[in-house]
Structure 1
Amino acid sequence: MADVLRSLRLGGRGDPARACALALGAEGVALSLLVGNGRMAEPIWCHPGVSARFEELQFTLGEGPGPDAVRTGSPVMEPDLDRVRPDRWPALLPPARDMGVHGVCCFPLGIGAIRVGVLTVLCDGDRTMTVQQCTDATALAAALTGALLNGNGNSGPVLGMFLDRPTGLHRAAVHQATGMISVQLGVTMEEALLRLRAHAYSSGRPLGEVADDVVARRLRFDDDTNGPYSPGDGKG
């Protein structure tokens, strides 16, 4: 982990998510940053594929250890999802287990009331997180927080490396779609996002795909009584 932190501080290239996952001995690692008025955590980089799918699941549902860590400002440690109460994350737990996610530990990025993101670590099949792993993950979260809050000096290359990587995971369309739904229904941005997420969940589609349909005007939410409306295709 010392080598990883040194490389990040010096702006080293390569795959930071893979390097962090290897250093932590984790099944996966993901970094998400808070963006937009809704302060949603959008994934910036992930490794491996299961990490990306799990972040997409949390992003679509708006529930899980990541959102909880952001809301409370404290780490959320659940190395064994089989021991989590079903009513804690009812929509997230079944598909997470189907993905092969055994356990999740999330570390918020921020200082005091300031929140900038969350580091998500997927635990291995042993469903444990050792003291050393927890210490390393905490140190990594602190280093990422410093880089993101002080985007100048030595942290400049680190911040640039994180934000310039073309991961394809950014969801700018979600923010645009939320604004459009807010206007269509005459509701707050928060409620509009809830409506968007509810439709994505009920239709079994990723949030980003549904948002793309709203932005492209293939899906409208102004028929609030009977649900979203797909022009030319009947009810959505």
Structure 2
Amino acid sequence: MADVLRSLRVFDERGDPGADCARVLGVPGVAVSLLVKADQGPESVWCFPELTGRFEDLQFTLGEGPGPDALRDGVPVLEPDLRLVRPERWPVLLPAARELGVLGVNCFPLGIGAARVGVLTVLCDGKPLSDQQYIDATALAAALTSAALRGDPVAGPGGLRRAAVHQATGMISVQLDVPVAQAMLRLRAHAFASGRPLGEVAADVVARRIRFHHEGEDRDDDAGGDMSGPDAPGETSPEDGRG
């Protein structure tokens, strides 16, 4: 862990910081998300393995889960066995997490006092973290907080993963003439209702395959149904690539 902490300044030049942290912590998966814009959700900057990234995307899409709670409250959220969590706490996330195969999650807020900069997510196999694992994860969270506040590059070789989401949110904000936070809610609702990943829907918005309207449902190329007439709910105009 000492080696990993010393390497934080050069994460962008290394192979896979998530894999290194998971190996050192002895856990199935690790992810780090940072707040890029205050009025939007945290941006996943690196994760290992793919399952962790899918769980991070799930939390981001739904806006609920241990990560959002840790970021909001500023305290670690430790749920080593999601089967024991009350269903009403995260009513949508829990069944989706079980479907993914995520057994337990521990989320550590990155920040100092009221200043929050992100979340460290540590998956587990249904058992609580050991004392040493908890100490190491806390040390990693503190080091990541310091790196983020200094402006050190911790995004890893893949860079930001949700650039399209932020761009799409801005476009929806303009289309609907609503605040960015409300535009993000509309984007999340569309992704959840369609059963598609948030990033995939965002990419369609950026590519103008989906356009949001005040009236009716927002529709895309895969939505089906009668799309005749320029005023059909959610239908895009010719300039949006529909012809």
**Which TM class, normalised by the smaller chain length?**
0.7 to 0.9
What does residue range 173-188 of structure 1 map to in structure 2 within 5 Å? 173-188=164-179
Taking only aligned residues, the RMSD between alpha carbons, in angstroms, comes to 2.1
Aligned partners of 1:190, 1:13: CA distance in 2, in Å? 34
CA deviation digits over 1:24-51, x for unaligned, max 9? 1111000111112424111111111111
2:217 maps to 227
The answer for the alignment partner of 1:43 in structure 2 is: 44
1:200 matches 2:201: no
Q: CA deviation at 1:61?
A: 1.3
**Alignment partners' CA distance in 2, 1:35 and 1:5:** 22
TM-score (norm 1): 0.88
Does structure 1 conserve the Cα–Cα contact (< 8 Å) formed by 2:42 and 2:118? yes
State the shift of 1:174 in Å. 1.4
Paired residue for 1:111?
Answer: 112
Take 2:23 and 2:63, find their aligned partners in 1: how far apart are those partners? 28
1:163 aligned counterpart, secondary structure: coil
Measured in 1, the distance between the counterparts of 2:156 and 2:78 equals 30
Q: Show the counterpart of 1:6.
A: 6
Instruction: Give me the whole-angstrom Cα distance separating, in 2, the residues matched to 1:37 and 1:13.
Output: 28
Q: Does 1:72 align with 2:79?
A: no
CA shift for structure 1 position 195: 0.8
What does residue 157 of structure 2 align with? Answer: 165
2:64 corresponds in structure 1 to 63
For residue 133 of structure 1, report the CA deviation from its aligned partner.
Answer: 1.0
**Distance in 2 separating the partners of 1:86 and 1:58:** 16
* C-alpha contact (below 8 Å) 2:5/2:143 kept by paired residues: yes
* % identical aligned pairs: 64
Distance in 2, matches of 1:113 and 1:212, equals 33
Aligned partners of 1:133, 1:227: CA distance in 2, in Å? 47
Moved more, 40-49 or 226-235: 226-235
Amino acid at match of 2:129: M
SS in structure 2 opposite 1:106?
strand
Partners of 1:101 and 1:139 lie apart in 2 by: 24
Name the amino acid aligned to 1:189. V
Partner of 1:214: 205
Which segments of 5 or more consecutive residues in structure 1 lack a partner in the other structure? 152-158
What secondary structure is seen at the aligned counterpart in 2 of 1:88?
coil
Matched ranges for 1:9-48 at <5 A:
13-48=14-49
CA distance in 1, matches of 2:49, 2:221: 38
- Equivalents in 2 of 1:203, 1:10: separation in Å? 39
**One-letter amino acid matched to 2:194:** S
